Structure 1
Amino acid sequence: MNISYLGHSCFVFKIKGKVILVDPFITHNPLAKEISVDEIPADYIILTHGHSDHLADAESILKRTNAQIISSYEILEWYKKKGFTGHGMNIGGSYNFEFGSLRIVTAIHSSILPDGSYGGHPFGVVIQGENKSFYIAGDTALTMDMKLIPMICKPLDFAILPIGDYFTMGYRDAAIAAKFIECKKIIGCHYDTFEPIKIDKEDVSEYFTAQDLQIFLPEVGETIDI
């Protein structure tokens, strides 16, 4: 599977011919200035919570692509008032989409929309499709609930975890999370965008290697074959 990293926590990938975009935050990210929002395809847009650094470009992309939103019930209702459609889900729920199954799992964070509206509970997702199973954690602290994932889902091929600390778990907690979810291949996200979440990539890589884990730290615009 090819996964393209568009900066911060934004990823785009294709399953069964459908393009899934996650947490689009591009035009206001100085590290993503080479990415053209007007060229990003999307059939579905997953919004893990309501913070602007995860949905700032969602509306413009929705208008252009007519993509379906997958988010919390509260966030979907907020977008419905703007004329958009999709699936407003909640923690523990799952649904079989065209691209495969998607389960909503716990994230420990906060969620408020740009106008101050309540964004519901933040979440992560486990997606299973085309013989791949993977976890996108969203913004989260380390939580014991992660231990449930290998109990209720197929074994994970890889996981996308925040590692920048300050607003989410840092890389040391992310290494523990990798063991909780029983997954050795980790793609890091939510790092370097802002001063408080800048990391030393060499330190992170060495730490994960010492924990017998594999960490991918993609450059903005890079595509990973995993």
Structure 2
Amino acid sequence: MSAEFKFIHHACFTVTAGGETLICDPFIDGNPIHVSMQDLKVDYIFVSHAHGDHLGCAYELAKQCDALIITTAEIAGQASENGCKAHAMHVGGTYKFPFGKVRVTPAFHGSGIAGGHACGFIIDFHGVKFYFAGDTSLFGDMQLLQDLDPFKYALLPIGGNFTMDPHDAAKAAAFLKAPVVIPIHYNTWPVIAQDPEAYKADVEKNVPGTQVILVDPGDTLEWD
């Protein structure tokens, strides 16, 4: 089955397949394509951690769309307290949803919520498989992820300062061995300004079998 990937900005994107849509880290404030929360219709909301530029409008959007929030236990608890439907998971956990399987992966970053842990996700969404790294540093166990739950697409932060920079994200691409890497979480603010063309050139020169696709806010891609 094919899917449509749409990039909104920062680390926020949607994937539509099988008549359903998910959104990851729904921070839409200041997006340059002027998408509003009211424009969104989603069935599932994935939240990697509770910093404002990732949690975003998750709770309001969940109530607007009657969507299910899938996230770590601490955020899921807070979501439930805010009147949202939520499914609690945690790092290393897997679960089979009606749309497919989710694995919660480590992400080395602040949680943004007391007692929590930042995370990423490997998501099988109606047969389309991708890894959303969330906000993270480079870590060695990235080398294991492709063996645990194979995926075609990897969405990696390259902004530096808060996450991996392009140098470390290129090493991550080598660890992950994904056929397609999409860099995210850069150029939103001056502190995370980077040159994505240089990142693309580095990875495609030094990581055989990996293509880097650069996406601008509003871009859509057909995934398979």
How many residue pairs were aligned? 219
**What is the distance in 2 between the residues matched to 1:43 and 1:141?**
29
What aligned pairs does 1:110-121 form with structure 2 within 5 A after superposition? Answer: 110-112=110-112, 117-118=113-114, 120-121=116-117
Aligned counterparts, 1:187-226, within 5 A: 187-211=182-206, 212=208, 213-226=210-223
TM-score w.r.t. length of structure 1: 0.91
| Deviation of 1:78 (Å) | 0.8
Distance 1:100 1:69 in 2: 15
The code of the aligned residue for 1:178 comes to: A
Distance 1:80 1:130, change over 3 A: closer
Q: Tell me which amino acid in the other structure corresponds to 1:217.
A: L
| Structure 1, 196-205 or 164-173: larger mean CA deviation | 196-205
Unaligned runs of 5+ in 1: none
Which residue does 2:80 correspond to in 1? 80
Cα distance in 1, alignment partners of residues 127 and 87 from structure 2: 23
How far 1:119 sits from its partner (Å)? 5.9
Contact 2:33 2:218 in 1 (8 A): no
- Match status 1:174 vs 2:169: yes
What TM-score, normalized by structure 2, do the two folds share? 0.92
Percent same amino acid among aligned pairs? 35
Moved over 3 A (4+): none
CA contact (8 A) 1:15 1:99 kept: no
User: Could you say what the CA RMSD is over the residues aligned between the two structures, in angstroms?
Assistant: 1.5
Cα distance, 1:185–1:119 mapped onto 2, change above 3 Å: farther
Who is 1:2 aligned against? 4
In 1, are the aligned partners of 2:47 and 2:69 still within 8 Å (CA)? Answer: yes
Q: Kindly report which structure 2 residues correspond to 1:1-226, keeping only aligned pairs within 5 A, or say none.
A: 1-27=3-29, 29=30, 31-112=31-112, 117-118=113-114, 120-154=116-150, 156-211=151-206, 212=208, 213-226=210-223
Contact 2:8 2:33 in 1 (8 A): no
Structure 2: how far apart are the matches of 1:130 and 1:65?
Answer: 20
Q: Offset of 1:76 from its aligned partner? A: 0.7
